């Protein structure tokens, strides 16, 4: 199944999104000989409850190093930063972000693009902005055969881990938006070696994961991250203007330069 995905391009908002949501997928695809490219919109410089110890410039540097180590463990050798500010992706002009991604897509020519769905998985506004950019860029620049797989939260996983998710405030209020098993296009339950590899990759992102792993315990944390789920996005309605972007909340194209 994974070999059918061909060249995979993952587009994410912050360091650690890629590992949490597709670490197993990337590792298994690389083991199968597939090309995997990762794009990260921000360096996650505001991702800390302790900005005194981790001011933005210092945390950005640390998370850059952490993501490099994480991707090496997953076997991913190609990575691109977009350089946008953490927590402010929704303020970026969509046409500018779409242009950046469209250029990368035209160069990479992926068979499969993996990113957030419109809900952003956890409800994070940065995730939702990246989802909008990615869907639009795939429509504008990807080869006709390219698939867009969007992350999903299965209802069974959400039920199993409800107490943990609530305790650690994994999702914003009103999230997750769960999907039944039959609605998933790709649902991976990772084997033990792949879960161990994913755990080590996430553990490399120490500033984001060390406290959670210690609090949960490695065994429970490994079980918690052992599932990855995706749905296939439907093609967007045809729109000839390359300067427009798709707004999923309104289910319509929005003009970047309205008259």
* Secondary structure letter of residue 14 according to DSSP: S
Residue 69 has pLDDT above 50, yes or no: yes
Look at the chain and report how many structural domains it folds into. 1
CATH number of the domain that residue 55 is part of = 3.40.50.10320
Residue 34: strand, helix, or coil = coil
C-alpha closest to that of 151 among 14, 4, 17, 6: 17
Residues of the domain holding 167:
2-255
Residue 258 has pLDDT above 50, yes or no: no
Residue 240 has pLDDT above 70, yes or no: no
**Residues 32-38, mean pLDDT to the nearest whole number:** 97
Q: Which residue is it, tokens 């299965």?
A: 154
Q: How far is CA 205 from the centre of its chain?
A: 15
Mean pLDDT of the chain: 94
């Amino acid at each position: 199944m994974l070999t059918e995905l061909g060249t995979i391009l993952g587009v994410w908002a912050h360091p650690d999104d890629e590992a949490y949501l597709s670490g197993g997928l990337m590792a298994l695809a690389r083991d199968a000989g597939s090309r995997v490219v990762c794009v990260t919109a921000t360096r996650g410089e505001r991702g800390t409850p302790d900005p005194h110890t981790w001011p933005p410039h210092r945390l950005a540097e640390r998370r850059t190093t952490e993501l490099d180590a994480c991707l090496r463990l997953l076997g991913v050798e190609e990575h691109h930063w977009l350089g946008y500010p953490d927590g402010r992706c929704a303020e970026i002009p969509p046409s500018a972000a779409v242009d950046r991604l469209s250029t990368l897509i035209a160069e990479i020519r992926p068979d499969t693009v993996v990113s957030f769905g419109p809900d952003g998985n956890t409800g994070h506004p940065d995730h939702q902005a990246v989802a909008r950019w990615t869907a639009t860029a795939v429509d504008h620049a990807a080869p006709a055969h390219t698939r867009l797989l969007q992350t999903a939260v299965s209802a069974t996983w959400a039920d199993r881990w409800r107490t943990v998710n609530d305790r650690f405030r994994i999702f914003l209020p009103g999230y997750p938006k769960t999907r039944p098993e039959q609605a998933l296009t790709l649902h991976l339950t990772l084997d033990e070696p792949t879960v161990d590899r994913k755990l080590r990759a996430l553990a490399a992102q120490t500033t984001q994961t060390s406290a959670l792993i210690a609090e949960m315990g490695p065994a429970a944390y490994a079980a918690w991250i052992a599932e990855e789920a995706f749905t296939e996005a439907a093609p967007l309605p045809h729109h000839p203007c390359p300067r427009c972007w798709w707004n999923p909340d309104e289910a319509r194209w929005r003009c970047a330069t309205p008259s």
